[in-house]
Amino acid sequence: MKSTVNTILVFVLGLWLSNSAASAQQIQSMKLLTAQTGWAQSESHLYWTSDGGAHWKDIAPSMSSNLKEFIGGIFFLDTSTGWVLLSYANDNGEQQFRLASTSDAGATWSSSPIKLPWKRHADDFDGGADVFFLDELHGWVNLQLSHGLTPPGAHLLATQDGGKSWNTTKGEPGWAGTSMCFFNETDGVLAGGGTDRTELWLTHDASKIWQRLKLKVPPDAAPADLPAYGEPICKDARRGFLPVTFSGGDGSPSALVLFATDDGGRSWRADRVLSNLDETSFGGKVPAAVVDSVLIAATWSRGKVTLATTAPSGDVRRTTLLGPFKDVRDLNFADSLHGWVTTSNGMFSTGDGGASWTDITPPSGHAYPPLPALPQGKPVRPNSGLRRPALPATNAAGGARSNAVTGSLTEVHLGFDKGNAPSAAKMQTWWEYSPYYDYQISLPGAANHPTNANLTPKWVSKVENQGWGLWPVWVGPQAPCANNQNLVLMTANTPAQAYTEGQTEAANAITALQLLGGNLGNTIIYYDMENYDTSKAQSNAGCIAIVENFLNGWINGMHSNPTGYYRAGVYGNVAPAARNFSQLSPLPDDVWISLASGATTPPSVTIWNLASAHVTLCDIYSNPPCPNLWPTDQRIHQYIVDGAHKITYTETWGGVTLEIDPDIIDADVA
């Protein structure tokens, strides 16, 4: 099918804003500090309650609307003392951070800038961070870097004076973790970083050295063996807990394992296991909390949420949550009776261990509400009926392009990407209920995405028969000057070596694609080029030459493969696309641009007018126009980036919740 459409999907934003479920405020983070006192964050609001959520007060420190400052991270040590990380981009395009602190529960705030030891463009940062304080003096922030399909990177800083000054930590793991905690000044744990939250790092010498740890799967959890680490809990100077969700392959049950330590994280033991849970895709985790040595978890089964309370003896009490509990995104308890949960429908509290619940959603504000549900029975690959407006006369030279690749299909729909493939059953539900038609697949075997548990020939056959279009991506070695230096980088030292390395990656990607079968032969593969410094003024000309020659090798390797002609796509941020991808010869056949709006700005669901604070990717409507720069069915736009600005972006369709990055597609898929 060949469609020509107007990809400025105004109707999508209309659906977004008219969603009947939008009245439930979306909570990005929350914490119950005592049975009655806690906080909740939504966009630029920081709400505080002292009566269990019956009344809320916005205590957020003042922020500059002109600078578009926003909240990047929050931590409260107790019911009085807390810190809020604030972030914005200055006029020079550099990301700025300041830390606001309070000692009176937000009645007053003082703030001081965080002076970074390096200058980085705002494009390099998501602006969010994990924040943790051991006491009023010793604290850490893990500043999250921008990312796309690869694990988000980070820079870890430490303070010993309550945030007045900050130092880099040697040997930082470089991952943006879901959360971190420290047992004492020397022993700490960072859990949840890397691909789909599968990284666990520990330090025992005040961050001089970080070591990666893999916890052994207990026999009771088998056959599940793929970990997703939850929030680590440092109870005191030596004792702590770590909930880990282990998932299996397609259709396999999952297990929640609570690990415990008595020596500051040097050794961990499986303390108790909740096994035979409903299937959880690789990367998914069961919301869990530990209070009074009791494990409390929200599990999902047959469309219902169950609160499972597990005592140290292993005895389990299960309570089915009725009413609005179609999903639970976060769960926090102050003791075994008093707890909060956040869902897609709002925020709820219990004072009786989950037997009854009260809606305590703060009264205002929205943050990326999900799109409304479509009627069940989505037609197979429909024509959307939209049309691109006529080109200005001066742009007529853009013309049309042929689509001679046998397995290539030009699509114009909404799609989504997720690091690892959801189960075929979940894909079937999303096909029936969601507005998405296409899904990105990360091919296994790549240097920075070696495995993809569910992605098998059987899975491909199933989801293609369901109706899905697929677009393959290869997450291979990255630029020598990549922002995330924990990725596997290119080995080339010269442009000639880079060209050869790019050809090799093309051959490897095609082989991986062919092993999956289905309709994936002779199609397009997108190379995932994660963000790097595009400024030649910062002595990166050599690195940029390596990148451009590598991509030239990728493109020509795709076009001249002995098994057939493949289109060559490239994924990246808008700055590399404008400054480097546009200089390649030949150009990539298609580009996939990652560009998210601010934390409080509705997403721009269009493939045109893609611009950051520093650079614009010109197009057929620009002034002056770019009539030959991917003008005709050659662009994808990733318009929300999960994790940006500390927002965990999920959508729920047909009772199935996935953490995703949504895309608007007017380009080749398989």
Over the stretch 390-449, which tens digit does the pLDDT of each residue have? 333 332 223 333 333 334 445 578 999 988 899 999 999 999 989 899 999 999 999 999
Has residue 580 been placed in a domain? yes
Note whether 337 and 289 are within 8 A (CB): no
Assess whether pLDDT exceeds 90 at residue 260: yes
Rg (the chain; Cα; Å): 24
pLDDT at 119: 67
Q: Of 176-185, 210-219, 641-650, where does the model show the most confidence? A: 210-219
Nearest CA among 373, 312, 300 for reference residue 343: 300
385 Cβ contact list (under 8 Å, min separation 6): none
Has residue 453 been placed in a domain? yes
Confidence band, pLDDT 50/70/90 cuts, at residue 540: confident
Residue 347's beta-bridge partner residues? Answer: 342
Per-residue burial over 284-307, b = 16 or more CB atoms within 10 Å of its CB, e = otherwise: bbbbbbbbeebbbbbbbeeeebbb
> What's the mean pLDDT in 146-169?
81
Q: How far is CA 516 from CA 422, 455, 470, in A?
A: 16, 8, 12
Assess whether pLDDT exceeds 60 at residue 216: yes
> What's the mean pLDDT in 256-264?
96
> What's the mean pLDDT in 157-185?
85
Has residue 645 been placed in a domain? yes
Burial (CB count <10 Å: 0-12, 13-18, 19+), residue 315: exposed
Out of 264-268, 392-396, 480-484, which region has the weakest mean confidence (pLDDT)?
392-396
Assess whether pLDDT exceeds 60 at residue 385: no
> What's the mean pLDDT in 81-88?
93
Q: Of 6-10, 329-333, 495-499, 515-519, where does the model show the most confidence? A: 495-499
Distance CA 149, CA 416 (A): 12
Over the stretch 105-154, which tens digit does the pLDDT of each residue have? 999 999 999 987 776 665 666 667 899 999 999 999 988 876 666 666 78
157-160, Cβ contacts within 8 angstroms, sequence gap of 24 or more: 157/114, 158/206, 158/207
Note whether 530 and 484 are within 8 A (CB): yes
Distance CA 30, CA 361 (A): 11
SS3 226: strand
pTM of the predicted model as reported, rounded to 2 decimal places: 0.72
Q: Tell me phi and psi for residue 57, to 5 degrees.
A: -130, 135
Indicate the number of domains in the chain. Answer: 1
DSSP secondary structure letters along 179-221: EEEESSSS-EEEEEESGGG-EEEEESSTTS-EEE--PPPPGGG
Judge if the upstream peptide bond of residue 117 is cis by omega within 30 degrees of 0.
no
Has residue 415 been placed in a domain? yes
Q: Of 36-50, 312-326, 609-623, where does the model show the most confidence? A: 36-50
Over the stretch 32-47, which tens digit does the pLDDT of each residue have? 999 999 999 988 899 9
Has residue 230 been placed in a domain? no
Has residue 29 been placed in a domain? no
Q: Tell me phi and psi for residue 17, to 5 degrees.
A: -80, -20
> Can you give the CATH number for the domain in which 576 is found?
3.20.20.80
> What's the mean pLDDT in 624-631?
90
Has residue 168 been placed in a domain? no
pLDDT at 94: 77
Confidence band, pLDDT 50/70/90 cuts, at residue 620: confident
367 Cβ contact list (under 8 Å, min separation 6): 25, 26, 28, 42, 43, 599, 600, 647
Note whether 215 and 259 are within 8 A (CB): yes
Has residue 132 been placed in a domain? no
SS3 489: strand
Note whether 86 and 63 are within 8 A (CB): yes
> What's the mean pLDDT in 203-211?
90
> What's the mean pLDDT in 379-400?
33
As a three-state string, the secondary structure of 107-176 is CCCEEEEECCCCCCEHHHEEEEEEEEECCCCCEEEEEEECCCCCCCEEEEEEECCCCCCCEECCCCCCEC
Q: Which residues form the domain of 554? A: 403-669
- Which of 198 and 214 is assigned the larger pLDDT? 214
Note whether 282 and 289 are within 8 A (CB): no
Averaged confidence pLDDT in the chain: 82
> What's the mean pLDDT in 178-195?
86
